Amino acid sequence: MFVLDTDHLSFLERAGHPIGDRIRKKLEAAREDCVATIISYEEQCRGWLSKVAQANTIADQVSVYRKLLRQLQNYCAMTVIEFDEQAAIQFQVLKKATIRIPTMDLKIAAIAISRDATLVTRNWDDFVKVPALRIEDWTKE
């Protein structure tokens, strides 16, 4: 199983972007084995809702809402896995190990570890600090 990190999911929202296209090809090759997390969904929703609140004109709001809808459609097209009891236990283990990465990243790592999955991310600087976490970067050839 491959868990797509928020950074990879963000590229999928950019139609015609070469990195997004590269990720889409890999995703199509392993579709049934690729998932998103509810944590990434939360992160992206917070970002888009902040942009909606900052939109100064109706035209800006229309544009941002269109992007928010595209994000929702992307999530509806794939499996989204929860932050369940196993992930919560793993999260607590990682927190006690005092791994210094952002909390949301630690939760995503906990989900991947609890599912024995590989995390697909560009954020090697943080995730390489998490023991037992397998990571790949699909943005590179």
Give tens-digit pLDDT for 78-116: 899 999 999 999 999 999 999 999 999 999 999 999 999
The model's confidence at residue 31, banded by pLDDT at 50, 70 and 90, is low
Per-residue model confidence (pLDDT) at position 30: 75
**What residues contact 51, with CB distance under 8 A and at least 6 apart?**
64, 67
Domains of the chain (ranges, CATH numbers): 2-42+80-136 (3.40.50.1010)
CA 4 to chain centre: 5
- The H or E element containing residue 53 is helix 38-54
Answer yes or no: pTM beyond 0.75: yes
